[in-house]
Amino acid sequence: MQETEQRRSSSPKQPIEKKLPQASKKTAASQSGEGERIQKVLARGGVGSRREIERWIDEGRLKLNGNPVSLGDRLKAGDHLQINDRVIHWEKFAEQPTRVLLYHKPTGEVVTRRDPEGRPVVFTQLPKLETSRWISVGRLDINTSGLLLVTNNGELANRLMHPSTQVEREYAVRILGNVSDATLEKLKQGVELEDGKAKFDDIKFFGGEGANKWYNVTVSEGRNRLVRRLWESQEVVVSRLMRVRYGPVVLPERLKARTFYELTDKELDLLFEFAGMEHEKRANTANPEFKGNRPRRS
């Protein structure tokens, strides 16, 4: 219990931090013309990210009213859309409200829809969607716990994950033994890994008893197992790793493992502002009810 309070002591009570700077990617200019671009509609429906859909268009996998789709094509009422010759009922994506969940992932779960080894997957813990699917904003490996954002808005997910946005990720790390100031400074200056140079943007000591010490570290990229690899490059053993913040979103203190919290419309406004996007307004601003492991709000 003492360790839990220690590693999350810097997290505010609200799930969205209001004073963090906006993601570096600028707001896209509003599109002119009738209808919406195909990649935008499908991304909003969770079919894939906008970048993925644009690649599918280049590969000739999409047809609009029987003709190959071009990148500038727009969807209008009555249009017939196919992906790999399968009909897509895109109209249901047009008015779909964005939903974002904060899921507290425990160690032992994998961030995938199906696991051939039969390990538990995070998506079975989430409410079912009728017209789209949940998309994870980044991943956490099986041995990492903490904050995982999921949304049904593919464009929002892509904005928050894209390398150009350089969204901060903050982790609480428990390590074995002491670390010298010289090693900490080296980790902040940057070290060479097998996939290029990397560094911690910030390192804060949060105490600890005996051999175990807690640090909070911040990185601005989502390379695979980056936090662990940085520590291991200095022969430091990581015994526990927990993500406590992704961009402006923090892990609520009272959110237990295997439970989730859904952002309110006001909180979504802040997240869309951070991502440089306009947030569509719901007719009913209250969070929709659903079954599942929903905790009381923090």
List phi, psi (to 5°) of 50.
-60, -40
Query: In this structure, are residues 261 and 216 in contact, taking their beta carbons and an 8 Å threshold?
Result: no
Of 58, 115, 141, 195, the active-site residue reads: 141
Q: How far is CA 256 from CA 26, 228, 252, 261, 293, in A?
A: 35, 24, 9, 10, 10
Q: How many CB atoms lie within 10 A of CB 288?
A: 10
Q: What is the CA radius of gyration of the chain?
A: 21
Confirm whether 141 is a catalytic residue.
yes
- SS3 state at 116: coil
- SS3 state at 110: strand
Please tell me the number of Cα atoms within 13 Å of 121 on its side-chain side: 12
Strands (E), 47-205: 62-64, 67-68, 74-75, 81-83, 86-88, 100-105, 135-137, 145-151, 169-176, 191-193, 196-198, 202-205
Q: Which of 40, 109, 104, 33 has the alpha carbon at shortest distance from 69?
A: 40
Active-site residues, by number, are: 141
